[in-house]
Structure 1
């Protein structure tokens, strides 16, 4: 198993970063962001391995350059095979601060990532993760999160390699309270495929359907 890091551990670290961000030097901020990105990647890898033991020992949890149809892409969590090439690629897009400015750029980044990978590797399982606090500088961001959820609901659901390249096999929107680190129980709403557990299940299911066990 990659690590014992879970999504709750990552969110606790994000909250600590948000509380201390104003007092950090630029170098310390960058170092903290790198550690947090690594923790998010490892938390996803942990859950993917629990959902599908075939992933154990195969997942890369650091930023890795991969060939894309349009340009070189950087996958945050990935898995490849010597015969099939890239099998799994996930882009992680956490937003810790300045939510209003960043959220729509992140949405576009994830859609572009999917197109770039799928045109090169149509069988690849592609995922995207958006992590957003429910408040930013004391102001609620819930209305922005709801709008993002509406958009992402139309961007997922790629069931086979014949489906449109701009769709993703799995998408997660993780909305959390920046004071407690708790995931908002109603965002996305219960039953949504954008919830973390459903996202992990969707990636694992798509992977099993397309690739025979080694």
Structure 2
């Protein structure tokens, strides 16, 4: 099976424009309109829309947060920031570098198909697929509270599942506020582990599709 080492050099990092507030619904209106929409058009997002989406999802919102690490737009256990956000576009797969607000190339392959689980029987056309990957090393080597649970596999699950949900919730509200479609779902964990050349301590968890509603294909 092909892995991320093939063709990576064909991609360049994507320097995202600075996140900027634009016209959007209020938080109350966005919460009222939050919903799952599986029918998503192939129309790509603009660089500005992608930039704002990623910043709202899991960006840096203050230089110094808990335990001296940068603060993020979503909370994490002991500020471990153990969730990596992989961004699947038609041109290839990237890893979101929140500190630099940049997309770093991972594989020059369209891996969006891997962000849909086999049993879901849906072939998404979404232009952006986010894949949530936990890095267990960051939980066990946190700069925050060294509680025993951070080394217990079952307790770790409770942390990284909740932390993923917090990021995904930000994405849902961003989508609702800007008239986008959004769908949080399972992913092909086996394929993504190989195709992204993940380390043993990294595990794909879930994915999220974002784009314009298919009925509003532009």
- TM (norm. structure 2) is 0.26
Q: Which has the higher helix share?
A: 1
Structure showing greater relative contact order (alpha-carbon pairs closer than 8 Å, 6 or more residues apart): 2
- TM (norm. structure 1) is 0.27
